[in-house]
Amino acid sequence: MKTTLFHQHGGPEALEYTDFPTPEPKPGEVLVKLKVAALNRMDVMVRNGWPGLKLEMPHINGADGAGEVVALGSPLSMGEGLGVRADDRVVINPNLGCGECDYCLSGWDNMCRNWHLLGETVRGTYAEYVSVPARQLYKLPDNFDFHVAAGAALVYQTAWHSLITRGKLQTGETVLIVGAGGGVNTASIDIAKFSGAQVLVVGSDAKKLGKAEALGADVLIDRSKEENWSKAVFLATNRQGVDVVVDNVGTTFMHSLRALKKGGRLITVGNSGGPKFEIDNRYVFAKHLSIIGSTMSHMTDFSTVMDLVVAGKLKPTLDQSFPLSEAAAAQERLWMGKNFGKITLDIG
Ligand SMILES: [Zn+2]
C-alpha cells in the first residue's frame, strides 16, 4: 500500500511517501480502505518524538480516518455480531481501549488500563489501509462526506466528552474558549452553541476571530489588543465571569482562573503552550473552582456525537485538504497554526 511514514523522529523531512505492506486484520479486526485521514497536533508531536516514547519503526501517523470496509479478520468473516460488512462506509474511533479491563467493562474505555491512541503508539491512518478492532467503527450513511467524518472523529468526541460528560455544561451557561482556530476549539464552539450556551472566544488573530463569530461565537476578545483579557471577559459578562473555560493552552491558566465566576469549571484536554506552568492556588479554593481534565471519550459519547454530526446538527469546520503524498506540508500548516478547523489528507 501507499503510505506516508517515518523511520526516525525529526522534522517534516522525516516523512516519506512510500510503499509499505498492507496490514493483515487479526481476529476481531477489520481492514479499512481509507479515503480520508485528518490531522491532529499530536501527529507532529509523535513525529518529533519525546523522551520515553517507544515506537515500532517505521511509524505511521494519523488518528483520524474514514473509508470503506474491505476485509474482516477471522472469526468475523461473516461480520457476525458486530454489524460490519464489506463495503460499509465507516469512520474510525481512534480511542483504543482493551475492551477487557475494569474501566473498559464499566464503559470508560478512554480510561483503559492499557490505553492506546491510533497513530500515537500504533500505526495510524496516513495510509491506504489500516486494521482496527471492529468495535472502533461507526457506520456512515451513503454519500456522507468522508472529510467531515474524519475531521470530526477525534476533536468532536474530545470536545463533547469534556464539555458535556465531564464539564456538565447546561443551557444558558457562559463558556469561554481560549484560542480560535484549532480543531478542538472549533468543535467546542459548535457543541457549546448546540447546547444553548453563550460563547466567548479569546484569540490573537482577527481573521480567525471573524471565523469563530461565523461559527456562532457571541463575544470575541482580541488578546493582541487586550493583554489582560480576563478583565475583558469580566466586563463582557456584567462583571460576573464565565461558568466554564475551555483552556487547552495551559500557560494561560491564570487568565482563565480569573475569568471564571465563583463555582466555575476550567476544562482542559491539552496544553499547546507547554506542559508546565504556575498557577495561584488561592483562586482555586477561594472561588470554589474545579479544574477538570479529560482526554478523548468513551464509546457512548463517540456514537452520540457522531449521530449529531451525521444528522447535520453539529458541523465540523474543515480547513484545506492535501494529497497523502504531501502530508509534510499539511503538518507544517497545522503546526504553524495557519489552519482554521481540520486539515485532511485525500487518500483513495
Ligand atoms: Zn481497558
pLDDT at res. 79:
46
- Enumerate residues with CB within 5 Å of ligand 1 (an ion): 97-98, 101, 104, 112
109 CA distance to ligand 1 middle (Å): 6
95 Cα to the center of ligand 1, angstroms: 11
CA nearest to 246, candidates 233, 227, 235, 236:
233
Half-sphere exposure of 217 (CA within 13 A, CB side): 26
Closest CA to 279 of 305, 297, 306, 260: 260
219: left (phi over 0), alpha (psi -120 to 50) or beta: beta
Report how far residue 61's alpha carbon sits from residue 41's, in angstroms, rounded to the nearest whole number. Answer: 11
| 329 Cα to the center of ligand 1, angstroms | 35
8 A C-beta contact, residue 297 and residue 166: no
Cell numbers at 16, concatenated = 516519506
CA of 35 to the centre of ligand 1 (A): 29
How much distance in Å is there from the Cα of 84 to the middle of ligand 1?
22
For 229, the 3-state DSSP assignment is helix
CA of 96 from ligand 1 middle (Å) equals 8
Backbone angles phi, psi at 313, to 5 degrees: -80, -25
User: How far apart are the C-alpha atoms of 340 and 338, rounded to whole Å?
Assistant: 7
Cα(300) to centroid(ligand 1), Å: 15
Dist. CA 20–CA 6, nearest whole Å: 11
- Per-residue pLDDT tens, the chain, 348 aa: give them: 999 999 999 999 999 999 999 999 988 899 999 999 999 999 999 999 999 999 999 999 999 999 999 988 776 554 444 678 889 999 999 999 999 999 999 999 999 999 999 999 999 999 999 999 999 999 999 999 999 999 999 999 999 999 999 999 999 999 999 998 889 999 999 999 999 999 999 999 999 999 999 999 999 999 999 889 999 999 999 999 999 999 999 999 999 999 999 999 999 999 988 899 999 999 999 999 999 999 999 999 999 999 999 999 999 999 999 999 999 999 999 999 999 999 999 998
Going from the Cα of 134 to the center of ligand 1, the distance in angstroms, rounded, reads 15
Give the DSSP H or E segment for 69: strand 64-72
* Cα 111 to middle of ligand 1, angstroms: 7
- Find the 298 Cα to ligand 1 centroid distance in Å: 11
Tell me the β-bridge partners of 91.
66, 138
113 CA from centroid of ligand 1 (Å): 5
**Separation of CA 41 and ligand 1 centre (Å):** 25
| Confidence (pLDDT) at 226 | 85
State the cell numbers at 269: 484536554
Alpha-carbon distance values, 149 to 50, 239, 305 (Å)? 30, 40, 11
The alpha carbon of 91 and the centre of ligand 1 are apart by a number of angstroms equal to: 21
pLDDT number for residue 3: 98
Question: What's the CA-to-centroid distance between 295 and ligand 1, angstroms?
Answer: 15
Contact present, 328 and 345 (Cβ < 8 Å): no
